[in-house]
Amino acid sequence: MTASDVGVALLVAGWVAYALAVRELEGRWTPFAFLPGVNVFVASGLVTERLSARSPTRRILTELLFVAIFVGADHTDPWLGAILGLAALSQMQWTNSLIEQLCEPTSGSVATTS
């Protein structure tokens, strides 16, 4: 197995994971869930929308700008990979916040003790 094979396998795994994430966040399958790369930004926007923190459009445009800067300057300044690392870290923090919000008991639920 070559590094290219591993890279392709990781891309496919990421594509499937984000397709499932978009499906769960939307509650149904949408065409955007199946578009590799696009589904990453759609999931990010849906997480932001669900948290009601700020405009999903602003978040998506910021992430697109980071990716464009990285792609445009990758061959001249490879250290710009840190930008993608920061975007990934931000994505993980937002997703963790959503998970915590979804795991909190609702105010109408009553805890039962046995």
Residues 46-101 pLDDT 10s: 888 888 767 888 888 888 888 887 777 766 777 777 777 777 788 788 888 888 88
Q: Do 42 and 32 form a contact (C-beta atoms < 8 A)? A: yes
Residue found under tokens 């070559």 = 2
Q: Give the model's pLDDT for residue 30.
A: 93
Q: Is the pLDDT of residue 16 over 90?
A: yes
Q: Give the model's pLDDT for residue 70.
A: 76
HEC assignment per residue over the chain:
CCHHHHHHHHHHHHHHHHHHHHHHHHCCCCHHHHCCCHHHHHHHHHHHHHHCCCCHHHHHHHHHHHHHHHHHHCCCCHHHHHHHHHHHHHHHHHHHHHHHHHHCCCCCCCCCCC
Q: Tell me: the pLDDT tens digits for 92-113?
A: 888 888 888 888 876 655 555 5
Q: Give the model's pLDDT for residue 33.
A: 92
Tell me the pLDDT band of 35, cut-offs 50, 70 and 90. very high
- CA distances to 40, 63, 83 from 87, in Å: 12, 7, 6
Q: Is the pLDDT of residue 40 over 60?
A: yes
Q: d(Cα 45, Cα 92) in Å, to the nearest integer?
A: 13
